Amino acid sequence: MSLTQDIAVRPISGALGAMIEGVDLGRDLDNRTADLIHKALLDHCVIFFRDQKMTPEQHIAFGRRFGTLNVHDYVKAMDGHPEIIVVAKNEGDTKNFGGGWHSDVTYLEQPALGSVLYCLEAPAFGGDTVFANQYLAYDRLSSGMKRMLDGMTAIHTARHVYGPQGRATTSYAESLKAMKIVGSTEAEGEIEHPVVRTHPETGRKCLYVNQGFTTRFKDMTEAESLPLLEYLWQHCTQPEFTCRFRWEPGSVAFWDNRAVQHYALNDYQGQRRVMHRVTVNGDRPV
Ligand code: SIN
């Protein structure tokens, strides 16, 4: 059944993030509601919902309203649902997935438009996710720095994370048993993206280098690139550009991966946290 729903959009911080009320994501959304959600995503960069109930099929159907879905190259998907990865941490695990500042899958030629993360089990405390607005990160740079970065290209790769010797495929195997991450030599490839991308829908510029997958600038070594990259990583995640979300079972976050970085806090040792994620494919950054 397709029903029009009255929805409210309430910002949760000065930088980004809004809570959406009055939507049942388990329903087949009418076009007006889907358009309002899309607009809220573009306006607020990350949107949140509480008290949702979605089957894997409904979660997939919601994601598909915004584009085709990604099948993760290295994280084993949920049985029968290749579009869903189970982002989980068990009581005995010490590492978590996404526990560092990053944008999803920027090592791809066409990185994600966004991800929809649905909480099934939340720790009693801890395990929040922090998001950072990369439009603000660009806007707050000096005019000289903007001029220099506007013409630059960065190299992104998953080698150090999902390559055969990558940290997710070696040290994570013992310390994150709740997930199965399968490394591959395919992760060794490199891809070029502009350091400053223009958002394909809003037309606004955002900074597009992340500590997870950006390793250097084009035609420069890692050693030469690191001082400026480290400055940008520190600059683009400063507290004034962020919001922080506390999870409960039934909470959903949908972030615009083109304009946002995120960080899953690993501050809940001894507790379990289980989420389902679908990721909507995006286009090539320009
Ligand atoms: C991710 O990076 O997709 C995981 C985010 C989270 O678990 O909060």
> What is the band of 198 on the pLDDT scale with cuts at 50, 70, 90?
very high
Give the tens place of pLDDT for each residue, 132-148: 999 999 999 999 999 99
pLDDT at 272 over 70: yes
Evaluate if residue 207 carries a pLDDT over 70: yes
91 within domain boundaries: yes
Q: Which residues are catalytic?
A: 102, 104, 262, 277
Mean pLDDT of 178-204: 94
pLDDT tens per residue across span 54-74:
999 999 999 999 999 999 999
For residue 1, what pLDDT band results from cuts at 50, 70 and 90? very low
CATH of the domain at 44: 3.60.130.10
Q: Residue 2 has what pLDDT?
A: 41
Q: How many CB atoms lie within 10 A of CB 246?
A: 12
Half-sphere exposure of 66 (CA within 13 A, CB side): 32
Q: What is the pLDDT of residues 29-54, one digit of tens each?
A: 999 999 999 999 999 999 999 999 99
- Reported pTM: 0.96
> Ligand 1 pocket: which of 129, 247, 252, 257 to mutate (most atoms <8 Å of CB)?
129
Distance between CA atoms of 250 and 9, rounded to whole angstroms?
18
Would residue 286 count as lying in a domain? Answer: no
Checking if the pLDDT of 5 tops 80, the result is: no
Which pLDDT belongs to residue 171? Answer: 74
pLDDT exceeds cutoff 50 at 3: no
Write down the mean pLDDT value for the chain. 95
Instruction: Give the count of beta carbons closer than 10 Å to the beta carbon of residue 52.
Output: 18
| Ligand 1 atom nearest residue 275's Cα | 7
Q: Say what percent of the chain tops pLDDT 90.
A: 89
The values of phi and psi at residue 161, to 5°, are -105, -55
Note whether residue 100 is domain-resident. yes
pLDDT at 258 over 70: yes
**Alpha-carbon dihedral 95, 135, 141, 190, rounded to 10 degrees:** 60
Return the number of other C-beta atoms located less than 10 Å from residue 100's C-beta.
16
From the list 52, 1, 44, the residue with the least C-alpha distance to 23 is 52
pLDDT of residue 167: 79
Q: Which distant-in-sequence residues (6+ apart) come within 8 Å of 159 by Cβ? A: 166, 187, 188, 189, 190, 215
Residue with CA nearest ligand 1 atom 4: 98
Residue type, 9: V
pLDDT at position 225 over 90: yes
**Total domain count, the chain:** 1
Do residues 265 and 127 make contact, with C-beta atoms less than 8 angstroms apart?
A: yes
CA of 263 to the centre of ligand 1 (A): 7
Of 113-122, 178-187, 215-224, minimum mean pLDDT range: 178-187
Determine which residue's CA is closest to atom 6 belonging to ligand 1: 264
How far does residue 104's CA lie from ligand 1's centre (Å)? 9
Predicted confidence band at 174 (pLDDT cuts at 50, 70, 90)? confident
Among 116, 128, 275, the mutation site with the greatest number of ligand 1 atoms within 8 A of its Cβ is 275
Residue 95 and residue 105: Cα distance in Å, rounded?
Answer: 19
- Which position has the token pair 């030599």? 185
Signed CA dihedral, 198, 199, 200, 202: sign only = negative
Atom of ligand 1 nearest to the CA of 102: 2
Q: Give me ligand 1 centre to Cα 43, in Å.
A: 21
Question: What average pLDDT does range 227-246 have in this prediction?
Answer: 98
Task: Kindly state whether residue 79 falls inside one of the protein's structural domains.
Answer: yes
pLDDT at 182: 86
Closest among 215, 200, 209, 218 to 256, alpha carbons compared = 200
Domain ranges, residue 50: 2-281
Ligand 1 binding site (Cβ under 6 Å of any ligand atom): 87, 97-98, 115, 117, 129, 262, 264, 275, 277
List of residues 6+ apart from 144 with CB closer than 8 A: none
185 versus 247: the higher-pLDDT residue is 247
